[in-house]
Amino acid sequence: MNKDLYTTLGVSESATTDEIKKAFHKLAHKYHPDRPDGDEAKFKEINEAYQILSNEKKRQQYDSYRKFGGQQGFNSSQGFSGFSGFENFTQGFDFGDIFSEFFNQGQSRRRNQNKDILVEIEISLKEADMGVSKTIKYPRFVKCSHCGGFGYEPNTKVTKCDKCKGTGKINKVQKTFFGNFQTTVECDKCKGKGEIYEKSCSKCKGNGSVKITEEKEINIPQGIRNQDKIRFRNYGDTFYANETPGDLILVVFVKNNTDFIRHQDDLYLDYEISFIKAILGSKEAITTIRDDKVSFLIPKGTKENDVIVVKNEGMHKYNSNSKGNLYIKIKINIPKRISKKAEKLLSELEKEIN
């Protein structure tokens, strides 16, 4: 009889955690070895089923296993012993490990699998608005100048790898609970090069590449936004001969140490005025993100949180001379303490207004 953990606990595949817990407690009480009619083997089987189905991650793994026909050949006396490496499933075995190991074996593990280099840089909001040039330094691998990236000394004897027949790859059979699968992996004898040579390069020690510190001046365009990426072609790593270098990918972080708040290409600013100016109106001036002076009018009767729009005084749009807008949000300062004279004048003003 095939073993099924849901059947063992007497619950359905859609059972909730509480339903699984209740079923376990009921069966555990019935078959506990301390009871006169207890059954130690049955109790152990119930406990193993509960340990898996009560754990969300293990339950998902088990459901995946059942979906792919994992119940065939799996009975209560055998457990997972029919599949090498599955004996300790109930002690925390992770199916994700075997999935990952198997399905990734066809991918090369050589260093040039990802030749792009990611570099982060921080600039100010003003620099983001105007654009800026920066000099950066970062480590990268380049082809060895002595051997041209081949990894062996010039004029040394080179022969085709007898294990992979010069292909750099070999077939490998992996035994899994799905059956036997054949995958293609990098040849471990020639490290995927397909060649065996008598003498390694004295400069790169057979690696084909050397590590250097690259210094590059970069131009960051105006209007760039926080965490935007800029790609520089062929400034990444190169490990071997006859391959194109990867790219340098620059991630730009924009640090804002101003009172302006940026939203895409627009800027927002809280601006405080007196309640007198709010009543009478006023002409004001501020310093923009570009250190320019710009004037704007406070209309008579302005209220708290009213917004005044100053066109074309926001951020530069990406790599463009056009700009977004500046939105000024009015905050009214109402003093908590005033003199007796001011109090009298305000009382007269209130009578006049009303």
Provide φ and ψ at 123, rounded to 5°: -130, 165
Average pLDDT over the chain, rounded to whole?
82
Percent of the chain past pLDDT 70, that is, above it, reads 83
Give the pLDDT of residue 243: 85
Residue 131: pLDDT band (50, 70, 90) is very high
Residue 266: pLDDT band (50, 70, 90) is very high
How far does CA 282 lie from the centroid of its chain? 49
pLDDT in tens, 10-33: 999 889 988 998 898 888 888 877
Q: What mean pLDDT is predicted for residues 144-148?
A: 91
pLDDT in tens, 31-46: 877 677 778 888 888 8
Angle at 111 between CA 105 and CA 112, to 5 degrees: 100
Question: What is the Cα–Cα distance from 72 to 178, expressed in whole angstroms?
Answer: 10
Instruction: Name the helix (H) or strand (E) containing 123.
Output: strand 117-124
Six token digits for residue 1:
């009889």
Strand-pairing partners, residue 268, are 261, 327
Give the pLDDT of residue 342: 83
Identify whether the C-beta of residue 106 lies closer than 8 Å to the C-beta of residue 117.
no
Sequence letter at residue 66: R
CA nearest 316: which of 281, 290, 336? 290
Give the pLDDT of residue 171: 87
Domains of the chain: 5-103 (1.10.287.110), 116-150+201-254 (2.60.260.20), 261-353 (2.60.260.20)
Give the pLDDT of residue 183: 80
Question: What is the Cα–Cα distance from 164 to 171, expressed in whole angstroms?
Answer: 9
pLDDT in tens, 55-110: 888 888 788 777 655 544 333 333 343 333 333 444 444 444 444 444 444 333 34
Six token digits for residue 120:
């982060």
Question: What is the Cα–Cα distance from 204 to 112, expressed in whole angstroms?
Answer: 16
Q: What does pTM read for this prediction?
A: 0.58
Give the pLDDT of residue 144: 93
Give the pLDDT of residue 212: 94
Which residue do the tokens 């059979």 mark? Answer: 173
- E-assigned strands of 158-259? 158-160, 169-176, 179-186, 195-197, 209-220, 228-232, 248-255
Q: What mean pLDDT is predicted for residues 277-283?
A: 91
CA nearest 68: which of 26, 112, 98, 31? 98
